[in-house]
A and B are shown apart, each in its own frame.
Chain A
Amino acid sequence: HVSAMYPSGKYSSRGPALIPRMKTKHRIYYITLFSVVLLGLIATGMFQFWPHSIESTADWALDKRSVHDAPLVRLPVSSPIPERGDLSCRMHTCFDVYRCGYNPKNRIKVYIYPLQRFVDELGVPISSTGLSREYNDLLSAVSDSDFYTDDVTRACLFIPSIDVLNQNSLRIRETAQALAMLPRWDKGMNHVLFNMLPGGPPDYNTALDVPRDRALLAGGGFSTWTYRQGYDVSIPVYSPLSADVELPERQPGPRRYFILSSQMAIHREYRAELERLKEENGEALLLLDKCSNLSQGAAPARKRCYKGQVYDYPQILQESSFCVVLRGARLGQAALSDVLQAGCVPVILADSYILPFSEVLDWKRASVVIPEEKLSEMYTILKSIPHRQVEEMQRQAHWFWEAYFSSMKAIGLTTLQIINDRIYPYAARTYEQWNNPPVVKWSSVNSPLFLPLIPPRAPGFTAVVLTYDRVESLFRVITEISKVPSLAKLLVVWNNQNKSPPEESLWPKIGVPLKVVRTKENKLSNRFFPYDEIETEAVLAIDDDIIMLTSDELQFGYEVWREFPDRLVGYPGRLHLWDHEMGKWKYESEWTNEVSMVLTGAAFYHKYFNYLYTYKMPGDIKNWVDAHMNCEDIAMNFLVANITGKAPIKVTPRKKFKCPECTAIDGLSLDQTHMVERSECINKFASVFGTMPLKVVEHRADPVLYKDDFPEKLKSFPNIGSL
């Protein structure tokens, strides 16, 4: 109320000024009236533009609703039935892409029909269970995701709220009629149905029997004959056990049993085959079955028995390296989910079965698929798999469960992501994104320059000289570099805003184009900006005081870079060390036997890394470097090593760069505080990267005939300095 009063007070005080000639009586009347109006306006405004207050009350009303409050819909007997479903349906024939449209996020919009309770004319519901807990979980997850839209006109994909997860609880004909009654059904176009238990006795179809026109089916237990590749989505059969049982973390490795069979009611033919295997291989196999004489109260689903001995299920799955998942009447088995959760490698014996999410998941890395006919060879086949691979598969299996099987949310969102990837294939997730567990994602590298190319010599390289005001030294550097045969262009980055670069006539005359770029701010990162003037892919970054490098050394450096275009190839080598006393990283510029960095005071690298440095540097490193005016070279080494996983290459023995009489450690690096700062940089960057990406090596690159007993004049690079 205070806020509402304030403006009215303000206006009333201004009142006299606005209407000075009015009589006091009228004035008071006017003011009161005006205040009332204003007050009202403000109050209304608050209501209008406080959407939460309105909506939350509405939501609150919604939240208080029970499933049984959902409106009842009576299906007339004669209500139309959809067609059976067309086996030739594909995205380009049965899916309306125009509904999805082009959007910058490349994300489909999904609409969920509001819940209705369908009954036939006699009032009997179409499903014995109605909405199941699992389907409710799935729909809630979808509605919480960014796929969701409540605007039916903008939706690309529609999810009916009719629960068809389990065909057994459905009345087929009536369910089909209910589907056809959906307001946007339109021959099932762009609709997706989730089903986990398809078919019914006696022949158990491998896809949902409910006629569904062109609707997509996300089904558990597809066979290759019912699965419309690239249209349907194969999903797992969710195991509710995983919600109830929390299995302890178990590291991959050899386990007590080699093969475990835990399914109940396996066909006697298979059982006989398994028994035979057990006879041959003894203790390595454990064949469990239903417990016949369990005490009262014990859940039979949680126990398994072998010759009177009782085992806990699913805990026992963690005791085996491989777990058999045999087909039953249906192809999809909930046991697969339990097995994966336990980190046991599933051995799948179900001919023609389309494995869950097989469109994107590489099951060869997490399971063994054996033709049913070869059940008798199972043991030999599994024994031939290397140990290390089994461990990898165990890890992968558990990860698949965690990411794609563990909840209805995971199953639902994965399905939508797969459909999303089909509609926006150019933005689809990659194989690595789908299949690499997070641990591998962090530690593995996916180099942006992965193709092994040795670029041609001809385009040459662009030398980028960062300078402030050391003109004399700069000119010397320019003159020296200009002698290098493969130099294509020289770019001087003039980092001094207070002083203009010397007149054009004063610059050394060289045979290649020389460009001067003036920067707006004196920042170190200017050296790594991907200037349009750099037209070659090879960049030589060089300081304005590096005068000792010979033409042969530079040319040789370029040749080495051509063989390692994805690395930093440079002259001054440095090392990082772990300081055990301090418990942190230390920078080392002594002449050591190892190298983990090359300084960009004189180094070749690919122009692409300029892009990465400028636009993709993790965390605040770039700004930090600019603020501290130091360590841009260390940052570059971190960046390149992190993305390629490779060490830099130090070329030639050269260690002194500025003057022959200089000591080991050059110029800037002389004082002790500087060294401390550099060490700090390494620690800072390592924490930002979350790891230490630098790789230590003990080699450097020299010309093939370097220091060999061979006439100097026949050597390509005779003039290689010694220190």
Chain B
Amino acid sequence: MQARKKYVLLGLCACCWLVLFYWGGGVQLRLLRLLTRHRAEVVRPWPNWTDRAFLPRYAHLDELQTDPGTAESPRQRRQAWSAIYKDSRCRMETCFDFSRCRRRGREGFRVYIYPSEKNDHVSESYRKILTSIGESRYYTSDPREACLFVLGIDTLDRDQLSGQFVPNVDERIRGYPLWNDGRNHLIFNLYSGTWPNYTEDLGFNIGQAILAKASLNTEHFRPGFDVSIPLFSKDHPQKGGEQGWLVRNTIPPRRKYLLMFKGKRYLTGIGSDTRNALHHIHNGKDIVSLTTCRHGKDWEKHKDSRCDHDNMEYERFDYQELLHNSTFCLVPRGRRLGSFRFLESLQAACIPVLLSNGWELPFSDIIQWNQAVIEGDERLLLQVPSTVRAVGNERVLALRQRTQMLWEAYFSSVDKIVLTTLEIIKDRVFSHISRNKYMWNSLPGGLLVLPEYSTHLAHFPFYYLGLGERASPGQEFTAVIHAVSPLVSQSQPIMKLLQVVSKSKYCSQIIILWNSEKPPPSRSKWPPMPVPLTVTDGKRKVSRFLPHVAIETEAVLSLDEDTVLLTSEVNFAFLVWRSFPERIVGYPPRSHFWDPLKRAWGYTSKWTNDYSIVLTGAAFYHRYYHYLFTHYLPQSLRTLVDRTSNCEDILMNFLVSAVTHLPPIKVAQRKQYKELPGPQGTKTVPWANPEHFNQRQECVNTFANWFGYMPLVHSQFRLDPVLFKDQVSVFRKKYKDLERA
């Protein structure tokens, strides 16, 4: 019966096991759970207390609504604040004297520059900064009307070991009668501290002054008070500046290398932790991270075993080539937090991957950096490759375009960096007439959006698509007619024009800018019209583009008195403009070209296969451009236009193209507008005059000079009605008038 015993034993074992399971199951359960960890992970949430409905409120309604109040008077409190919160705890409320900026808008925000002293050495970069302010629309030479003060002493480089270091700043500024402990002063700085710690110390007491500084640390940054600026080189252009390198959106958006870095490796001292580790992520294939030990005088003293090999590898790659061919660029901290490579990669459309813990990013107040860069963490360097690999193509495409947008809006020239700084401070001073983050972060960028015009997004030509259905450029336009000749007969061209325009169903009002020696005729002299007519003074040439309050529609149709148009032409052009509200849509085209012989820009009114200007003698555009023309452009250009009685249309085209980066749009027209004058032309019209033409030639060059580059862009098409001049029945055509000869 051996077998029987065996079975009994087996049975007993099984029973024991079962018993164990049922009563002492805990052990196995735990064992099993350990084995199947992932499956058995039980989420034990916060309990649903049985008495949760009886829990007390965190505060009584009375406690929340009736403030306990303080005995202290708010006014006294505010005064006491400025004594407590100063220096490193400065805020606009406590360290800035708003009473100096009393007047509204631009008038209230004036910037004064201290005259520089004779034997002062001013660096190239600081000279550019001062020039930018001096030429800006905020500059004043009268300290009494200034809201903000900028030192004439160069404070950019406060590294005592540097040749640019200016000594005795403390004593000198204390001697300034306007210094007022730095109140309302703006101090620019690029480099602070020195070897070995590179502290934030400027070597003099800035008092209550606002600091516009590169490489600012979040701990020292006084939020809402200081401005973080980017580090830029002395070769950074004053104006205009180079365009971004992205000329086309290639698909897929990845470039040859995924990630690159080429730079110094610090063997010791501050910043060496990160730089010393960068070589770890180098894989020689899609991630190129090259470091060299060769910098400073005594690098060989600290040399380690990697140095020779690294130095050799380092020479094999060209930095510029890597910039062009890499999707992401590492921007680690150097000795200081910011580095040149930040702007370099931004311009190169190489998405910056920041490794600079505690860096207050440039213009962080206004720019949404997470949409343009990858913010890494120095502590997680080794995660960087997997992080950037995980960034999808769509996001790469968006990030890359965003780098270009920001580069061109705020960084491409010293002018832009300085103006952005001033505008940020101005927005703080006049906080209820300031730009919101949307304006700062979408095209065309905050510098071209003047909050004094409006703080409402839908009032600008740029945001219709982003705002969705609630915003549209409107169903109506205002015609602004520039009249120069006195009214003598009812058959004058202007009479015809008035009738044609007023017949358009989209026309809501007509404004006549009267620019004649004779006073404007009485209301009865004008023909009866279905829309309201206003006659205002338009003596000066630029008054054509003054932001007349009478203009109530978003669309403006600008007209010369002798323009010959048909109502259907006007209607068609208006409908086209509604599709392109940020551009100028008009009829007669002109073109610019580069004349290699004269080494200057040329202007032509000949018939060409492309155009870059449409004359504003007959054109639709957004009324915001009136405001921009008057308040954004410098007095000098507007004076030039006024003095010569010429070029205002070219200037408008420059302005709009600088804003949009796009050409204007020419639409179909029945007859060619203002044909080139024949020899028999007896009437002396200004444009028939060669002098007039030469002036325009000069204008193009003067304007290009002020903008710092040539903003005009060529276009090769014009927009016609869909059935324009087609061999189909006339009855099908909506705009048949356009085809009559």
Task: Tell me the bound Cα distance from A97 to B381 in angstroms.
Answer: 12
A537 lies within 8 A of B50 (CB): no
Q: Which residues of B contact A281 (CB under 8 A)?
A: none
Which residues in A have their C-beta under 8 angstroms from that of B56? 129-130, 132-133
Interface residue A573 (Cβ < 8 Å from any Cβ of B): yes
Q: Is the CB of A448 within 8 A of B68?
A: no
Residue A459 is within 8 A (CB to CB) of chain B in the complex: yes
Which residues from chain B contact A715 at a C-beta distance below 8 Å? 609
Nearest B residue (CB) for A430 = B371
Considering the complex, give the chain A residue whose CB is closest to the CB of B458.
A388
Cα–Cα, bound, A139→B432 (Å)? 38
* Cβ contact within 8 Å between A67 and B55: yes
**Residues on the A chain within 8 Å of B358, using CB:** 90, 92-93
Interface segment, one of B107-115, B245-253, B492-500, B696-704: B245-253
A230, A431, A444, A700: which contacts B724 (Cβ < 8 A)? A700
A578 at the interface (CB under 8 A from B): no
User: Is the CB–CB distance between A537 and B250 below 8 Å?
Assistant: yes
Contact B57 A132 (CB under 8 A): yes
Question: B51 to A426, Cβ gap below 8 A?
Answer: no
Within 8 A of A (CB), among B37-89: 39-53, 55-59, 61-71, 73-75, 78, 81, 85, 89
Interface 1/0 per residue, A31-51 and B, CB below 8 Å: 001001100100010001001
User: Taking CB as reference atom, which chain A residue is nearest B579?
Assistant: A697
Docked Cα-Cα span, A559 to B405, in Å, equals 24
Report the stretch among B310-318, B510-518, B595-603, B709-717 that lies at the interface. B709-717
Give the distance to chain A from B251, nearest Cβ to Cβ, in Å. Answer: 4
| Distance in angstroms between the alpha carbons of A62 and B74 in the assembled complex | 51
**CB within 8 A of A63: which of B11, B50, B589, B672?**
B50
CB-based nearest B residue for A425: B375
Determine whether B144 belongs to the interface, using a CB cutoff of 8 Å to chain A: no
Chain B residues 342 to 365 lying within 8 A of chain A, measured CB to CB, are 357-358
Interface string of B17-32 (1 = CB under 8 A from A): 0100110000001001
Asked if A150 is at the interface (CB within 8 A of a chain B CB), the reply is: yes
Which residues of A from 412 to 471 have beta carbons under 8 Å from B?
421, 425-426, 428, 430-431, 435, 439-456, 459
> Interface size bucket, B side?
35 or more
CB within 8 Å of B: which of A666-723? Answer: 695, 697-710, 714-717, 722-723
* Interface presence of A335 (CB below 8 A): yes
Q: Which residue of A lies closest to B99 (CB)?
A: A373
Cβ of A563 within 8 Å of any chain B Cβ, yes or no, is yes
Instruction: Determine whether B239 belongs to the interface, using a CB cutoff of 8 Å to chain A.
Output: no
- CB <8 Å contact, A560 and B717: yes
A431 touches B734 (CB 8 A): no
Contacting residue for A66 out of B49, B91, B579, CB 8 A: B49
Question: Does B550 sit at the interface, judged by CB under 8 A?
Answer: no
> Which parts of A201-231 form the interface with B (CB within 8 Å)?
201-204, 224-225, 229-230
Are B18 and A453 in contact, with the CB atoms below 8 A?
Answer: no
Question: How far does the Cβ of A712 sit from chain B's closest Cβ, in whole Å?
Answer: 12
Residue B383 lies at the interface, judged by CB distance under 8 Å to chain A: yes
Give 1 or 0 for each of A629-648: 1 = CB within 8 Å of chain B CB.
Answer: 00000000000000011110
* A132 and B374 within 8 A (CB): no
Contact between chains at A446 and B466 (CB < 8 Å): yes
**B466 & A698 in contact (Cβ 8 Å cutoff):** no
B610 in the interface, Cβ–Cβ < 8 Å? yes
CB of B10 within 8 Å of the partner chain: yes
Selected from B40, B68, B73, the residue in CB contact (under 8 A) with A51 is B40
Q: Would you call B390 an interface residue if the criterion is a C-beta within 8 Å of the partner chain's C-beta atoms?
A: yes
Interchain CB contact under 8 A, B720 and A699: yes
Q: Which residues of A contact B85 (CB under 8 A)?
A: 225
**Closest beta carbon of chain A to B217's beta carbon, Å:** 9
B527 cross-chain contacts in A, Cβ below 8 A? none
Interchain CB contact under 8 A, A698 and B722: yes
Q: Does A507 contact B (CB under 8 A)?
A: no
B579–A165 CB distance below 8 A: no
B608 contacts chain A at the CB level, 8 A cutoff: yes
Q: Are B379 and A98 in contact (CB under 8 A)?
A: yes
Chain B contacts for A131, CB-based, 8 A: 55
Whether, in the assembled complex, A626 has its beta carbon less than 8 Å from a beta carbon of chain B, the answer is no
Identify the closest chain B residue to A144 (Cβ): B45
- Give Cα A441 to B469, complex, Å: 10
Q: Are A132 and B55 in contact (CB under 8 A)?
A: yes
Which residue on A lies nearest to B47, using beta carbons? A62
Q: How far is the CA of A48 from the CA of B25 in the complex (A)?
A: 10
A351 at the interface (CB under 8 A from B): yes
Q: A150-B42, A240-B57 are in contact. Are A389 and B455 (CB under 8 A)?
A: yes
Does B413 touch A at the CB level, under 8 Å? no
A592 to B731, CA, bound (A): 11
B380 proximity list for chain A (CB < 8 A): 97, 102
A201-B68, A362-B437, A704-B610 known; A698+B572 contact, CB < 8 A: yes
| Interface 1/0 per residue, B710-741 and A, CB below 8 Å | 00010111111111111110001111000000
Minimal beta-carbon separation of A544 from chain B (angstroms): 24
Q: A300-B62, A701-B718 are in contact. Are A136 and B52 (CB under 8 A)?
A: yes
Whether a CB of chain B sits under 8 angstroms from the CB of A2 is no
Query: Do residues B21 and A702 form an inter-chain contact, with CB atoms below 8 A?
Result: no
Cα distance, A428 to B49, chains bound together (Å):
34
Contact indicator A168/B404 (Cβ below 8 Å): no
Q: Are B251 and A698 in contact (CB under 8 A)?
A: no
Pick the contact of A264: B45, B65, B246, B394 (CB < 8 A): B65
- CB–CB A329/B371 < 8 A: no
A33 B10 Cβ-Cβ under 8 A: yes
Report how far A458 CA is from B196 CA in the complex, Å.
51
- With A431-B368, A653-B725 given, is the CB distance from A593 to B734 under 8 Å? yes
Assess whether A385 is interfacial by the CB under 8 Å rule.
yes
What residue of chain B has the Cβ atom nearest to residue A88's Cβ? B219
Q: Is the CB of A537 within 8 A of B249?
A: yes
A372 and B458 CA atoms in complex are apart in Å by 29
- Shortest distance between the CB of A705 and any CB in chain B (Å): 6
How far does the alpha carbon of A44 sit from the alpha carbon of B17 in the complex, in Å? 11
**Highest count of chain A CB atoms <10 Å: which of B42, B47, B248:** B47
Nearest-Cβ distance from residue B620 to partner chain A, whole angstroms: 13
Q: Which residues from chain B contact A521 at a C-beta distance below 8 Å? A: none
The A75-131 residues at the B interface (CB cut-off 8 A) are 88, 90, 92-93, 97-98, 102, 104, 112, 115, 129-131
Contact between A132 and B58 (Cβ–Cβ < 8 Å)?
yes
> Which A residues are CB-close (under 8 A) to B437?
362, 364, 431, 435
User: A440: which of B11, B371, B394, B467 is its contact (CB, 8 Å)?
Assistant: B467
Q: Which residue of B14, B55, B246 contacts A453 across the interface (Cβ within 8 Å)?
A: B246
- B468:A705 contact, CB within 8 angstroms: no
| Per-position 1/0 for B194-220, Cβ under 8 A of A | 000000000000000000000000110
Q: Are B432 and A204 in contact (CB under 8 A)?
A: no
Q: Are B45 and A431 in contact, with the CB atoms below 8 A?
A: no
Q: How far is the CB of B400 from chain A (nearest CB, A)?
A: 9
Q: Is the CB of B74 within 8 A of A133?
A: no
CA distance in complex: A168, B51 (Å):
23
Alpha-carbon separation in the docked complex, A63 to B46 (Å): 10
Check B301 for interface membership: any CB of A closer than 8 A.
no
Separation of A658 and B592 alpha carbons in the complex (Å): 40
**In angstroms, how far is the closest chain A Cβ from the Cβ of B650?**
19
Among B117-125, B130-138, B185-193, B656-664, the stretch in contact with A:
B656-664
A-B contact pairs, 21 of them (CB 8 A): A26-B7, A37-B14, A65-B50, A133-B55, A143-B46, A150-B42, A166-B63, A238-B58, A301-B61, A392-B457, A426-B370, A451-B404, A537-B249, A537-B250, A560-B716, A595-B722, A608-B251, A646-B465, A702-B718, A704-B717, A717-B609
The 9 A-B residue pairs with the shortest CB-CB distance, nearest first, are A328-B67, A443-B468, A444-B468, A389-B456, A92-B357, A143-B46, A455-B248, A301-B61, A132-B58
Given contacts A329-B70, A426-B391, 8 further A-B contacts (CB under 8 A): A115-B47, A290-B66, A329-B68, A371-B93, A451-B405, A699-B579, A700-B719, A701-B719
